[in-house]
């Protein structure tokens, strides 16, 4: 099925299940510990061994020798595979770093060996016995140094109007530079896999992956074997945030270990490997220039940024992407520099580009509003746009950013905010209020599904994954809505490459795409039932198919034989003529201790415009999760780079400080629950990445409002404010 021109009505206009607050159908499995995550799947294959990885201890260079004799003779060891034993593996379509093989070391903790043993303790002990000799080379690990030394070309990535002339003639201008640090996904479940390649022919991998089809293709390319010989399964994923979009070394090492030991092998990456061996969000340096008239209308925007990438590509952190679309302004120039460093590979992390870009841009908008003497909310409302500012002939399909701002200001009590920085106290706490806007794109990808109706029970099968987002529930709701069934009569099976390929989970495209795929399959099933009844006039309600005046139970229609249908939703090119996005306004209250500069977030509000909300329960969870991640990004999260050696020093959850329960205040989420007919038949957009966008800037703006101290270098730690606090408190 192809989704072509949007229509004003469809099968969901009077939805009974879609849009209703529905608890997760997979919730009982998770809270009872019965949901099978990758490393815990003891029942999928017998006789499992355990693998343990060894990582390089230099940032750049070559391995000249590896002595493995002691490791091979250690108790319980079944196999040892080193990077010197095999030629460099291929780099697949979805990876930029070579995952194993050869003597070259390109980053710290690059996988250089795997030890397979009967127990984890035996494998880890033996791995520590491998003696490695290196020839170390000087590497380039410093983004700041590259920025200060100049980044080459002055040619813009995109430009419209006459930016220089607009700045020269502007009544009010801003020119500031902002910095965001390297960040880690820090998901709860590490990268984990069980691989059975014991016969050296057919491979089965039970893994933690967001993208089943991508993982299967990557394994085929990496090992140069046919995709038909590979099965990938990932029914539950304990968090990903982009870290598990692509094939990583856990699956590769488990497969190599299995082939060497001729038994199945399970392997999880130790937590330090998550920071240095897997991917992360790149640091950014961003210079933002704004120009406006005294009336507050932006006349020019310039955004230049740098982020680091792995040699050969891989960086997704382009913070200038949002600048092309978010606010009005006739003259603009954006320029992004990908700086090649010898740090571990940077790649997608929740809302790549927009998350870090808005951390800077929405501070700049507040600073400009202050220069103009304007309310930050009114300044943003004044500069809203309903078209692509760089391509005015391209409208937004549905954009309700102004409504987000107005609803948020009213609910938050913005009119009663602290208006003068440093002017409001609560005992020893300086109280501040801040806000920020948010934008995140809303793409869709081709997505397929298979549905089976047997004795009135519907089973949905698709390789879509659930990374904690609620995929099981919204897909069950879609199937129930389409067939007029109660939710209890729908079973959803996910994360298996034997099922039709879906969009997968990532890029905020999962919900809109995968539900559209289930919709397409259900349409095909409805058509097959109608064909069997020899009529086109059918409705599906209350477990019945209604043809004319006759109601026939679906249980009766499918009593003798299962009825199966399969289809894929593809999206027509009409979307090329539209900008489709999601929008939000975030409001925050903070307290900053007048003696210590400790920042505590007191309350948070998000107002979101993301089309139809398929399930308010799971959607809210996604948004508050994003808000919490952004709280950490604003106040504590930073991968500290050892610039002489080229690695992230704080590579564990003790040194890399994510927000914890005690840091999280009252969080309120409001959905406008609009309908965007251009996005999909369900008129629903993703919301999981929107929740992280803009929040850190709202916290930064509130912190400034509390103290009068402007910090432009994240995270906003107390050492950056302590010497500028008021002398008396």
What is the reported pLDDT for 316? 79
**Domain coverage including residue 525:** 2-35+444-576
Q: Tell me, what CATH number does 707's domain have?
A: 3.30.365.10
Which stretches does DSSP call E strand in 494-580? 538-541, 544-547, 550-553, 563-571
Give domain status of residue 165, yes or no.
no
pLDDT bracket for residue 95 (50, 70, 90): confident
pLDDT bracket for residue 12 (50, 70, 90): confident
- Whether 44 contacts 206, CB under 8 Å: yes
Q: What SS3 class is residue 116? A: strand
Kindly write down the DSSP assignment for every residue of 658-695, as one continuous string.
---GGG--EEEEEE-----TTT-TT-B---TTGGGTTH
The tally of domains found in the chain comes to 2
Give domain status of residue 174, yes or no.
no
Out of 521, 553, 576, pick the residue that ends a domain: 576
Q: Please check the confidence at residue 188 and state whether its pLDDT lies above 90.
A: yes
pLDDT bracket for residue 134 (50, 70, 90): very high
What is the reported pLDDT for 729? 63
Out of 576, 610, 641, pick the residue that ends a domain: 576
Q: Please check the confidence at residue 9 and state whether its pLDDT lies above 60.
A: no
633 and 656: one domain?
A: yes
pLDDT bracket for residue 150 (50, 70, 90): confident
486 and 469: one domain?
A: yes
Out of 576, 599, 626, pick the residue that ends a domain: 576
Give domain status of residue 382, yes or no.
no
What is the reported pLDDT for 497? 98
> pLDDT tens digit string along 598-654?
999 999 999 999 999 999 999 999 999 999 999 999 999 999 999 999 999 999 999
Name the β-bridge partners of 451.
460, 565
Q: Half-sphere exposure of 80 toward its Cβ, with a 13 Å CA cutoff?
A: 26
531 and 547: one domain?
A: yes
pLDDT bracket for residue 11 (50, 70, 90): low
pTM > 0.85: yes
- Whether 485 contacts 479, CB under 8 Å: yes
**Dist CA 714 CA 636 (whole Å):** 8
User: What secondary structure letter does DSSP report for 346?
Assistant: B
Q: Please check the confidence at residue 14 and state whether its pLDDT lies above 90.
A: no
Which stretches does DSSP call E strand in 170-325? 172-180, 192-196, 203-207, 230-233, 265-268, 284-292, 298-309
Provide, rounded to the nearest whole percent, the portion of the chain with pLDDT above 70. Answer: 98
682 and 595: one domain?
A: yes
Q: Please check the confidence at residue 8 and state whether its pLDDT lies above 70.
A: no
* Helix, strand, coil percentages, rounded to 5, for the chain: 30, 30, 45
592 and 679: one domain?
A: yes
451 and 561: one domain?
A: yes
Q: Which two tokens stand for residue 644?
A: 């002489």
**Dist CA 631 CA 600 (whole Å):** 10
Mean pLDDT of 454-458: 98
What is the reported pLDDT for 231? 98
- Residue 326 Cα distances to 112, 119, 158, 358, 442, angstroms: 44, 53, 14, 10, 14
Q: Please check the confidence at residue 332 and state whether its pLDDT lies above 70.
A: yes
- Measure CA of the first residue to CA of the last residue in the chain; give whole Å: 66
Q: What SS3 class is residue 451? A: strand
Q: Please check the confidence at residue 505 and state whether its pLDDT lies above 70.
A: yes
553 and 588: one domain?
A: no
> Which of the residues 104, 159, 689, 727 is marked catalytic?
689
Give domain status of residue 469, yes or no.
yes
Interstrand relation of 563-571 and 2-3 (parallel, antiparallel or unpaired): parallel
415 and 462: one domain?
A: no
What is the reported pLDDT for 13? 67
What is the reported pLDDT for 479? 98
- Whether 468 contacts 35, CB under 8 Å: no
- Whether 465 contacts 475, CB under 8 Å: no
Whole-number average pLDDT of the chain: 96
Q: Please check the confidence at residue 190 and state whether its pLDDT lies above 80.
A: yes
- Whether 339 contacts 397, CB under 8 Å: no
Q: Please check the confidence at residue 597 and state whether its pLDDT lies above 90.
A: yes
**Dist CA 597 CA 720 (whole Å):** 9
> pLDDT tens digit string along 701-712?
999 999 999 999
**Dist CA 107 CA 368 (whole Å):** 41
Mean pLDDT of 412-426: 96
Active site residue 316: no
493 and 552: one domain?
A: yes
> pLDDT tens digit string along 194-222?
999 999 999 999 999 999 999 999 999 99
Q: Which residue in the block uniquely carries the two structure tokens 């880890």?
A: 124
587 and 571: one domain?
A: no
593 and 676: one domain?
A: yes
562 and 461: one domain?
A: yes
Give domain status of residue 104, yes or no.
no
- Whether 203 contacts 255, CB under 8 Å: yes
Mean pLDDT of 19-45: 95
What is the reported pLDDT for 225? 97
Provide, rounded to the nearest whole percent, the portion of the chain with pLDDT above 90. Answer: 94
Give domain status of residue 210, yes or no.
no
- Whether 638 contacts 702, CB under 8 Å: no
Q: Please check the confidence at residue 683 and state whether its pLDDT lies above 60.
A: yes
pLDDT bracket for residue 312 (50, 70, 90): confident
Listed residue (287, 276, 53, 47) closest to 148, CA to CA: 287
Give domain status of residue 56, yes or no.
no
Give domain status of residue 398, yes or no.
yes
Q: Please check the confidence at residue 314 and state whether its pLDDT lies above 80.
A: no
Mean pLDDT of 350-366: 98
């Amino acid at each position: 099925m192809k989704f072509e021109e949007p229509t004003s009505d469809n099968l969901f206009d009077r939805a009974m299940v879609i849009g209703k607050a529905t608890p997760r159908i997979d919730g009982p499995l998770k809270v009872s510990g019965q949901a099978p995550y990758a490393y815990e799947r003891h029942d999928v294959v017998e006789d499992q061994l355990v693998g343990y990885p060894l990582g390089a201890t230099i940032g750049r260079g070559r391995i000249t020798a590896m002595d493995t004799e002691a490791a091979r003779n250690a108790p319980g060891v079944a196999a040892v595979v080193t990077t010197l034993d095999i030629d460099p593996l291929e780099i697949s379509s979805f990876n930029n770093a070579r995952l194993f093989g050869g003597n070259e070391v390109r980053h710290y903790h690059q996988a250089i060996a795997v030890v397979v043993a009967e127990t984890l303790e035996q494998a880890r002990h033996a791995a520590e016995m491998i003696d490695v000799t290196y020839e170390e080379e000087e590497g380039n690990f410093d983004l700041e140094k590259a920025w200060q030394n100049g980044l080459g070309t002055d040619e813009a990535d995109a430009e419209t109007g006459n930016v220089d002339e607009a700045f020269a003639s502007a009544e009010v201008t801003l020119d500031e530079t902002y910095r965001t640090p390297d960040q880690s996904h820090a998901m709860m479940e590490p990268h984990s896999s069980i691989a059975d390649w014991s016969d050296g022919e057919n491979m089965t991998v039970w893994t933690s992956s967001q993208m089943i089809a991508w993982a299967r293709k990557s394994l085929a390319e990496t090992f140069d074997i046919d995709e038909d010989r590979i099965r990938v399964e990932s029914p539950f994923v304990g968090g990903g945030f982009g870290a598990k979009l692509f094939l990583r070394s856990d699956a590769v090492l488990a497969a190599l270990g299995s082939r060497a030991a001729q038994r199945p092998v399970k392997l999880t990456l130790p937590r330090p490997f998550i920071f240095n061996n897997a991917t992360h969000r790149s640091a950014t340096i961003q210079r933002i220039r704004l120009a406006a008239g005294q009336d507050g209308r932006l006349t020019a925007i310039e955004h230049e940024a740098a982020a680091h990438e792995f040699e050969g590509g891989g960086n997704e952190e382009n913070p200038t992407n949002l600048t092309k679309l978010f606010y009005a302004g006739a003259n603009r120039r954006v320029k992004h520099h990908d700086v090649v460093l010898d740090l571990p590979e940077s790649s997608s992390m929740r809302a790549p580009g927009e998350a870090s870009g808005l951390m800077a841009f929405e501070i700049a908008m507040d600073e400009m509003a202050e220069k103009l003497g304007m309310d930050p909310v009114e300044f943003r409302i004044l500069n809203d746009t309903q078209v692509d500012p760089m391509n005015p002939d391209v409208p937004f399909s549905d954009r309700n950013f102004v409504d987000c701002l107005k609803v948020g200001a009213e609910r938050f009590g913005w009119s009663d905010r602290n208006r003068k920085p440093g002017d409001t106290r609560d005992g020893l706490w300086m109280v501040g209020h801040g806000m920020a806007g948010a934008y995140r794109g809303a793409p869709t990808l081709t997505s397929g599904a298979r549905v089976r109706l047997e004795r009135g029970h519907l089973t949905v099968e698709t390789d879509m994954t659930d990374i904690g987002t609620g995929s099981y529930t919204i897909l069950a709701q879609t199937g129930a809505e389409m067939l007029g069934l109660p939710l209890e009569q729908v079973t959803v099976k996910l994360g298996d490459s034997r099922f039709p390929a879906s969009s997968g989970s990532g890029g905020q495209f999962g919900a809109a795409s995968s539900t559209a795929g289930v919709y397409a399959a259900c349409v095909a099933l409805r058509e097959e039932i109608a064909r069997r009844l020899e009529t086109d006039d059918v409705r599906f309600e209350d477990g019945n198919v209604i043809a004319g005046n006759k109601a026939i139970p679906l249980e009766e229609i499918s009593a003798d034989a299962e009825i199966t249908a399969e289809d894929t939703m593809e999206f027509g090119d009409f979307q090329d003529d539209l900008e489709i996005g999601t929008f939000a306004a975030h409001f925050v209250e903070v307290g900053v201790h007048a003696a210590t500069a400790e920042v505590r977030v007191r309350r948070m509000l998000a107002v979101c415009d993301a089309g139809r909300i398929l399930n308010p329960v799971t959607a809210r969870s996604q948004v508050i999760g994003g808000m919490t991640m952004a709280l950490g990004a604003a106040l504590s999260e930073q991968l500290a780079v050892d610039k002489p050696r080229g690695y992230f020093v704080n590579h564990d959850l003790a040194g890399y400080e994510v927000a914890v329960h005690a840091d999280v205040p009252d969080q309120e989420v409001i959905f406008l629950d609009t309908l965007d007919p251009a996005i999909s038949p369900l008129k629903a957009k993703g919301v999981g990445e929107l929740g992280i966008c803009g929040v850190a800037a709202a916290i930064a703006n509130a912190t400034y409002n509390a103290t009068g101290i402007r910090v432009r270098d994240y995270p906003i730690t107390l050492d950056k404010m302590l010497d500028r606090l008021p002398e008396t408190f």
